């Protein structure tokens, strides 16, 4: 039951350009959406979140957009830096205390 | 100071053995979790505890038993290990009073069953 989907397994972007990572979900009852970043041999680290009642949240170079009617969210990274190269997971929070549903992740590679 | 720590980081063992993975968080959080990341890279929740009470118990074999001696610790014990148990196991914690309830993850334990 894949309720959160990241259909692009990988994305390659030149340094300084914009990276756009996409995520789709099926359950309209999710109340928060979160993005995590993961480096090899480390645990995922929280990056940014957005409430289901908002359509945009910005934190420095990272902006998350939420389109509830399309059940779609995206993470924009501007400008992209080589240190941003990592796997990015989209997650959605369900009604059970703390329950997060994760996408499969997108490997972002930022090349100089 | 590590916020969420797990031991061991790597665990190689034979089929049929029993093993434990320990997790500790020093963030003062009230909820802890165990996730499994399989070979297809999906991160799936296995268990969660809130103030030492089991909240989420996904469909996992009963060979897996979590134990929470206190709010800061959530250990995972696995009996009769099978080849399919090979995966990376992540512990996480969160504070449910925080709006988004973002979870903080440990570094993971890579379990290999031979």
Interface membership of A49 toward B (CB under 8 Å): yes
Residues of chain A contacting B51 with CB distance shorter than 8 Å: none
Chain A residues touching residue B106 (CB < 8 angstroms) = 43
Listed in sequence order, the residues at least 6 apart from B62 whose beta carbon sits closer than 8 Å to its beta carbon are none
Q: Inter-chain contact A32–B106, Cβ cutoff 8 Å?
A: no
Q: Does A105 touch chain B (CB under 8 A)?
A: yes
Nearest to B29 by CA among B72, B91, B75: B72
pLDDT given for residue B84 in this prediction: 93
Residue B105 has its nearest CB partner, among A43, A49, A51, at: A43
Closest C-alpha among A35, A39, A22, A23 to residue A84: A39
* Pick from A42, A43, A98: CB nearest B94: A98
pLDDT of residue A34 exceeding 70, the answer is yes
Give the tens place of pLDDT for each residue, A90-105.
999 987 677 899 999 9
What percent of chain A is predicted at pLDDT more than 90?
90
Low-confidence spans in chain B with pLDDT less than 70: 1, 97-100
Question: What is the rounded distance in angstroms from the CA atom of residue B53 to the CA atom of residue B48?
Answer: 8
Greatest CA separation for chain A: 43
Q: Does A68 touch chain B (CB under 8 A)?
A: no
């Amino acid at each position: 039951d894949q309720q959160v989907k990241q259909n692009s397994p990988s994305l390659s972007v030149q340094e300084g350009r914009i990276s756009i990572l996409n995520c789709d979900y099926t359950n309209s009852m999710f109340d928060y959406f979160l993005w995590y970043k993961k480096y090899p041999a480390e645990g995922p680290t929280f990056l940014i979140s957005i409430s289901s009642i908002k359509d945009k949240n910005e934190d420095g170079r990272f902006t998350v957009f939420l389109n509830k009617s399309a059940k779609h969210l995206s993470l924009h990274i501007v400008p992209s830096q080589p240190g941003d190269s990592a796997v990015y997971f989209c997650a959605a929070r369900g009604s059970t205390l703390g329950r997060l549903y994760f996408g499969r992740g997108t490997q972002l590679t930022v090349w100089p | 100071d590590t916020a969420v720590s797990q031991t061991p980081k790597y665990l190689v063992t034979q089929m049929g053995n029993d093993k434990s993975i320990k997790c500790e968080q020093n963030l003062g959080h009230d909820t802890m979790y165990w996730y499994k990341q399989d070979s297809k890279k999906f991160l799936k929740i296995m268990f969660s505890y809130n103030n030492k009470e089991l909240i989420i118990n996904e469909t996992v074999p009963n060979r897996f038993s979590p134990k929470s001696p206190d709010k800061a610790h959530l250990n995972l014990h696995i009996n009769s290990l099978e080849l399919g148990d090979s995966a990376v196991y992540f512990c996480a914690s969160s504070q449910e009073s925080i709006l988004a309830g973002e979870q903080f993850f440990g570094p993971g334990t890579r379990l290999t069953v031979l």
